[in-house]
Chain A
Amino acid sequence: MKVWLPRDAAARALGADDVAGTLLTQARARGIDLTLIRNGSRGMIWLEPLLEIETPEGRIGFGPVTPADVAAILDTPEAHPKALGLVEALPWMARQTRLTFARCGVIDPLSLADYEAHGGLSGLRRALEMDAAGIVAEVTESGLRGRGGAGFPTGIKWDTVRKAQADRKYIVCNADEGDSGTFADRMIMEGDPFTLIEGMIIAGLGVGATKGFVYLRSEYPDAIEVMNAAVTIARDAGLLGASVLGTGPAFDMEIRVGAGAYVCGEETSLLNSLEGKRGVVRAKPPLPALQGFMGQPTVVNNVISLATVPVIFEKGAGFYRDFGLGRSRGTIPLQIAGNVQKGGLFETAFGLTLGEIVDDIAGGTRTGRPVKAVQVGGPLGAYFPRSKLDTPFGYEEFDGQGGLIGHAGVVVFDESADMLGMARFAFEFCAVESCGKCTPCRIGAVRGVETVDRIARGDADAIPLLTDLCETMKDGSLCALGGFTPYPVMSALTHFPDDFATTRKAAE
C-alpha cells in the first residue's frame, strides 16, 4: 500500500508526524506492507494533515486526519467519514492552473527520480542547448516578473547581469519570506526543492554565474532541512558541481540561514547580511545586478520567480505568457490566510477579483462573521474594504487602487478587527524591524505609534499629523519598509474612518 502524508511545516504544525507514527504502527499490526512518502503540501491547509492513498483510479484523500482516524482508514477507506475522493478532482485542485506548483504535494520532495518523472530537469536540458542570450530572451519573452513583490521584469534583470563584465557573478535567491500571510516560498522549498535548484542553475547559465546562494529565513527550520538535503542530493547526482549534468559549465550553491531580521527580505539588506554584515539597506544605485554580493554582478530573485523558470523552459515562454491579465503574465500562487474557511495555496492565472478569492475560493471567514478588511501583500500592503473587492488580481490593477500584490498573500479579517489597532501595529512592526539607516523609517515608525495612540485617546488633531508623517515616510525612506508602512496605515485610516472616529467619541 502506497500512501502520502505531507512533511510540510503546516501539516506538521497540525500533527502530521503523530499521524505518520500511528500509520506505521497500525500498518505493521495489520501486516500491511506500507510505503509512506512524506510529500509536500497540496496547499489545502484546512485539510491538513491530508493523507493520500494510491488506488487504480488515482490518489484518494482523507483529511484532516488525526491518529485516532488511522485504524479505520486502513480498514475501510471508502467508508470513512473523512474520505474526500480523488484529490485531483477536489474543486480547490481542479480550479487551479498549477505550473510552478505542479509537482508540489505530488512527488517525494527528495527523490530526484520522482522529480524527473514529473517533468523535472527537462527545462534545464533545453536551456543547456541554448546560449546565454537565448536563455535570457526566453525569460524576457515569458513576461515573468519578480514574484517577491516589486514585480520587476525578471528577463531585464538577468540581461543586465549577463552583459556585466566580471570574473565572478552570483545568483542569490531571496528566501527571506517574512511577509505575514505568505508561505509559497516555504511550501515550494519543502515540497519541490529541486525546482528551485533547477531554476537557479538556469539563471546561472543565462547570466554566466557559477555560484548561487539561497538566503533562507531561520523561522523556516523545515525548509532549511529539506533544501540542504536537496542540495547534497543534487551535488551527488552531478546536477550541481564542476559541470552541470556533465556537459554544462560549473554551478554550485549554498543554503544560508538568516537571523530573524525582516528587513533582510529587502535585496540590498539581504546582500549585506549574506556578506556577514549588519542587514542595513544600501542606497541604489549601484544596482545589485552590477554590484551585488561582494561587489560583483548578482541576480537577486525571489524563490517563486526562480522556481517558475524550469516550467517556462519545459513548456516554452509562449505557453507561460498566454496566462494572465494585462502586463501580469503567467500564474500567481495566491496564499489565502487569516480568518478564512479554506486557507492555503491556490495557483491561478492573474485576473481573478479579490472578492472571488475571498468569498468563493476561501469560502468567507472561518468565524462566519462578515469580512471587514483584506490585507494583500504582507505587512506593507494596503487594507482593502469590502467595496474594493472587485479589484482584479494584477500588479497594475492593485497599484491603481492604492495597494500592492506583493508576494500575493491575502489575509482576511472579520468585523471584529480593530483597524486603528492594525495601523498602530504596522508602525510598531516597522519600529522593531527598521534597519536604522534612514531617518524617516527609524524615527517615523516610533512617532507613528505615538501619533496613533494620540488618535486613540481622542485627539483629532493628530489625524492630519499622521497623514503628514506617512507622506514623509513614503517619499523619504530608503527602502520599502519605511516607504510602504504608510500603505496599511493610510488605507486603514481612509477606508475605516469609523475605527478612528469611534475611539475619539468614546474618549470624549
Chain B
Amino acid sequence: MPDIHSRRPSPEEVRSRTREILAAHAHLEGPLLPILHAMQESFGFVPQDCVQPIAEGLNIGRAEVHGVITFYHDFREAPAGRHVVKICRAEACQAQGGNALADDTLARLGLEWHGTTANGAVTIEPVYCLGLCACGPAAMVDGKVMGRVDAARMDAILAEAGA
C-alpha cells in the first residue's frame, strides 16, 4: 500500500487535494459521494480537514457533509490497518459456516469487528453480502474477493497480511 496510508496527512496536504478533487467533480449532478470516495482513495480515510472546503465548494453546511460521511459504512474517519479483511456475515454465508469463520478469526486476533491488530497490519470488518452466495463463506481482502474461505485459507490470508 502507498506510504500515504500509513501516516496522517498535513492539513495543507488535505486542503490542496480537496481542491483538486472538487474541481474534478464539479460537473457532476449530486457530486458528494464521488468526492468522498475520491478523498478516501487518496488518503485511506476521509480526513476531518476536508469537511470545511467541501462544504464551501458545494455550498452546503459542514453538518451536512459530516452527516453524509458518518451515515455510510464505507467512509472511515481514521486510517485502517495496512490490510483490510472483510468477512461476510450475511445469511447465505452463515448457511455455509460463515459464523464459525468470523468468530474464529476475531478470537484468534483478539479483536472485535472493526478492530485493528496491534501492529497495524490488519483491520477486520463485517460486510453484508459480496454476491458470492453460492461459494461462501466469502471474504474480501484489500478489495479482492475470495470464496469458500475455510480456517486454513484465512490463516494463510492473515499470515500474508502480517497479522
Are A180 and B132 in contact, CB atoms less than 8 angstroms apart?
A: no
Q: How far is the CB of B14 from chain A (nearest CB, A)?
A: 20
How many chain-A residues does the 8 Å CB contact rule pick out? Answer: 63
Are A220 and B131 in contact, CB atoms less than 8 angstroms apart?
A: yes
Does chain B have a CB within 8 A of A422? yes
Number of A-B contacts (CB under 8 A): 159
Chain A residues contacting B148 (CB-CB under 8 Å) are 13-14
- The segment out of A76-84, A337-345, A461-469 that lies at the interface is A337-345
Chain B residues contacting A276 (CB-CB under 8 Å) are 30-33, 58, 68
Does chain B have a CB within 8 A of A140? no
Does chain A have a CB within 8 A of B121? no
Report the Cα distance A177→B130, complex, angstroms. 9
Interface 0/1 of B6-41, CB less than 8 Å to A:
000000000000000000000011111110110000
Are A411 and B91 in contact, CB atoms less than 8 angstroms apart?
A: yes
Does chain A have a CB within 8 A of B127? yes
Set B71, B96, B132: member contacting A9, Cβ < 8 A: B132
Interface 0/1 of A382-419, CB less than 8 Å to B:
00000000000000000000000000010111100100
Does chain A have a CB within 8 A of B2? no
Are A259 and B145 in contact, CB atoms less than 8 angstroms apart?
A: no
Contacts A180-B92, A375-B91; A218 near B71 (Cβ below 8 A): no
Looking across the interface, which residue of chain B has its beta carbon closest to that of A46?
B134
Does chain A have a CB within 8 A of B94? yes
Report the Cα distance A179→B95, complex, angstroms. 14
Does chain B have a CB within 8 A of A457? no
Are B72 and A344 in contact, CB atoms less than 8 angstroms apart?
A: no
Does chain A have a CB within 8 A of B85? no
Report the Cα distance A186→B134, complex, angstroms. 13
Chain A residues contacting B90 (CB-CB under 8 Å) are 180-181, 379, 429
Set B29, B64, B71, B93: member contacting A294, Cβ < 8 A: B29
Looking across the interface, which residue of chain B has its beta carbon closest to that of A342?
B134
Chain A residues contacting B143 (CB-CB under 8 Å) are 221
Report the Cα distance A180→B73, complex, angstroms. 17
Looking across the interface, which residue of chain A has its beta carbon closest to that of B64?
A277
Does chain A have a CB within 8 A of B77? no
Chain A residues contacting B131 (CB-CB under 8 Å) are 9-10, 177, 182-183, 185-186, 219-220
* B58, B64, B67, B72: most-surrounded residue (chain A CB, <10 A): B72
Set A10, A254, A257, A277: member contacting B68, Cβ < 8 A: A277
Residues A336-374 near B (CB distance < 8 A)? 336-340, 343-344, 366
Chain A residues contacting B109 (CB-CB under 8 Å) are none
Contacts A13-B147, A178-B129, A425-B94; A337 near B134 (Cβ below 8 A): yes
Residues B57-87 near A (CB distance < 8 A)? 58, 64, 67-68, 71-75
Does chain B have a CB within 8 A of A274? yes
- What would 4 more interface pairs be, CB under 8 Å, given A411-B92, A422-B94? A10-B132, A337-B136, A338-B136, A344-B134
Contact sample, A vs B, 27 pairs, CB 8 Å cutoff: A10-B131, A10-B147, A13-B135, A13-B138, A180-B92, A181-B92, A182-B133, A219-B129, A219-B131, A259-B37, A259-B75, A261-B73, A275-B30, A276-B31, A276-B58, A276-B68, A277-B68, A278-B67, A279-B71, A294-B30, A335-B133, A337-B136, A338-B133, A339-B96, A340-B134, A366-B96, A409-B92
Seen from chain A, the residues whose Cβ lies within 8 Å of a Cβ on chain B are 9-10, 12-14, 45-46, 48, 177-183, 185-186, 218-222, 254, 256-262, 273-280, 293-294, 335-340, 343-344, 366, 375, 379, 409, 411-414, 417, 422, 425, 429, 432-433, 435
